[in-house]
Amino acid sequence: MIEIQGLRKSFGSNEVLKGIDASIQKGEVVAVIGPSGSGKSTFLRCLNRLEEPTGGTIRFKDRDVTAAQKELNGIRQKMGMVFQHFNLFPHMSVLDNLTITPRKVKGMGKEEAEKIAMELLRSVGLEDKRDARPDSLSGGQKQRIAIARALAMQPEVMLFDEPTSALDPEMVGEVLDVMKRLAQNGMTMIIVTHEMGFAREVADRLIFMDGGYIVEEGDPREVMAAPQHARTKEFLSKVL
């Protein structure tokens, strides 16, 4: 579904991605781990060109994301993104947060958008919050709403950038449960995370990034049990 070749990204003279090659299959769940500053967020953000790559190519379902101009918005709509800090629209109700983009960008009618939104709110257990403002919700609830909002655009891939890192510990589980169900329902997912238990249990593949490279990747259980590279070993010894 996504084919990444020789992906590079520099900020000024700081080369953050130094040639990333990766293929993501439809329905695959890929967890990305690595030290702070290793380029994980930049990698994710390059996939839908929230960051402009400085080299290499990204293909999404045989469309060239790196060269796309007019089709870029269409490609972005197929890639849902969830951030550490939720990024909900604070001045809107939960329901409006879920319906605004389908209505404005896809031209969906109010009734259909609200029907889809209510199904999604049900699926994340927050039906009763339809009229609430984001400010009145807990972090875990906000993040579940953010996931539902991304899903409201009916994406084919979901990109998660440390979706539980800003949460109080007691709220991490409810968000991971939603993500786990999404994975079980066949969603293609790329998840930057420090939740090693979740990565081991839910991900099909684990990618370890360091210094702008993919240093090691493989079956999460195998990589965690027997890392092949010194840097992977060192990182895992700190987080496991």
Number of chain residues interacting with ligand ADP (CB under 6 A): 10
List CB contacts of 88: < 8 A, sequence separation 6 or more: 97, 134, 142, 145, 146, 149
User: For ligand ADP, which residue of 7, 20, 22, 41 counts as binding (CB under 6 A)?
Assistant: 41
48 binds ligand ADP (CB under 6 A): no
Applying CB under 5 A, the span of 34-42, 50-58, 108-116, 128-136 interacting with Mg ion comes to: 34-42
Applying CB under 6 A, the span of 39-47, 57-65, 142-150, 170-178 interacting with ligand ADP comes to: 39-47
- Helices 94-106 and 110-123: crossing angle in degrees, nearest 10, is 130
Cα dihedral 51/141/157/64 (nearest 10)? -20
User: For ligand ADP, which residue of 16, 98, 116, 189 counts as binding (CB under 6 A)?
Assistant: 16
Report the partner that residue 36 touches, choosing among Mg ion, ligand ADP, none (CB closer than 5 to 8 A by kind).
Answer: ligand ADP
Q: Least distance from C-beta 33 to ligand ADP, angstroms?
A: 9
39 binds ligand ADP (CB under 6 A): yes
Collapsed DSSP state (helix, strand, coil) of residue 43: helix
Cβ atoms within 10 Å of 21's Cβ, excluding its own: 12
Report the partner that residue 42 touches, choosing among Mg ion, ligand ADP, none (CB closer than 5 to 8 A by kind).
Answer: ligand ADP
User: For ligand ADP, which residue of 20, 28, 42, 80 counts as binding (CB under 6 A)?
Assistant: 42
209 - beta bridge partners?
A: 214
The Cα diameter of the chain in Å comes to 55
- 99-128 CB burial, b ≥16 within 10 A, e <16: bbbbbeeeebeeeebbebbbebbebbebee
* Interface pattern 36-55 for Mg ion (x via CB under 5 A): -----x--------------
40 binds ligand ADP (CB under 6 A): yes
Interface positions with ligand ADP (CB under 6 A): 11, 16, 34, 36-42
